[in-house]
Amino acid sequence: MKTPMAPPFKIHVDPTGTPVDITNYRGMIGSLLYLTARRHDIMYATCLCARYQANPKESHLAAVKHIFRKKQNPVSTSNAEAEYVAAGSCCAQIFWMKNQLQDYDKFYSQIPILCDNSGAIAIANNPVLHSRSKHIDIRYHFIRDHVSKSDIELHFIPTDLQLADLFAKPLDETRFNFLVGSLGMLNFE
């Protein structure tokens, strides 16, 4: 079977092959199955190898190791791009809330968005597409239009002052208490 998703060699029942550690093999298959949620290109090969979890041989282990060696195409070419896309999504949410508030005669302009990546801010503030940003899908440039119209303002905030970390990352007690206090939340200790 020669498809881009299948290992280049045939996987079959191997009664004469050397057995391998079942626990290790199953652990590797489990890791690959977890990855298939985002890596659809390895799904077929992983499921094919998963058939032999009851009695894996060296040939099956070689196929699993081959799947681990598959090169992953990068989803984003930089952290700046990922932050830019996230800021664009934030901008869309802000404008939805702004439209809802207009029904209650609450009008806002020049809404600040805090971003901890100066590269993402530079992409949003620059109306010219460059070679490093031309591959970004057009729907993510929503934020660029609103920055140019002064509907929103992007402000840099250092990572250590990023209050959203409280909701998105596991934190130690000191950092957690600092962010809770910065948000003005009550500490019930």
Domain boundary among 51, 73, 95: 73
pLDDT at res. 64: 92
In a domain, 163, yes or no: no
Q: Are residues 24 and 38 in the same domain?
A: yes
Q: Are residues 8 and 41 in the same domain?
A: yes
pLDDT at res. 53: 92
pLDDT at res. 56: 93
Instruction: Report yes or no on whether pTM surpasses 0.95.
Output: no
In a domain, 189, yes or no: no
In a domain, 182, yes or no: no
Instruction: Say if CB 108 and CB 101 are below 8 A apart.
Output: yes
Question: What does the DSSP assignment read for the chain?
Answer: ---TTS-SS-----TTSPB--HHHHHHHHHHHHHHTTT-GGGHHHHHHHHTTSSS-BHHHHHHHHHHHTPPPPPS-S-HHHHHHHHHHHHHHHHHHHHHHHHTTT----SEEEEES-HHHHHHHH--S--TTTTTS-GGGGHHHHHHHTTSEEEEE--GGG-TTHHHHS---HHHHHHHHHHHT-----
Q: Are residues 94 and 145 in the same domain?
A: yes
Domain that holds residue 92: 79-157
Q: How many domains does the chain have?
A: 2
In a domain, 167, yes or no: no
Domain boundary among 43, 73, 103: 73
In a domain, 184, yes or no: no
Q: Are residues 93 and 56 in the same domain?
A: no
Q: How many Å apart are CA 87 and CA 95, to the nearest integer?
A: 12
In a domain, 34, yes or no: yes
pLDDT at res. 6: 54
Q: Are residues 102 and 125 in the same domain?
A: yes
- Which residues touch 135 (CB under 8 Å, ≥6 apart)? 77
In a domain, 173, yes or no: no
* pLDDT tens by residue, the chain, 189 residues: 455 555 555 788 888 889 999 999 999 998 888 888 777 788 888 989 999 999 999 999 999 999 888 765 555 456 778 888 888 888 888 889 999 999 999 988 888 988 888 888 888 887 666 655 666 766 667 788 888 888 888 889 887 888 878 887 888 888 888 888 888 876 666
pLDDT at res. 19: 92
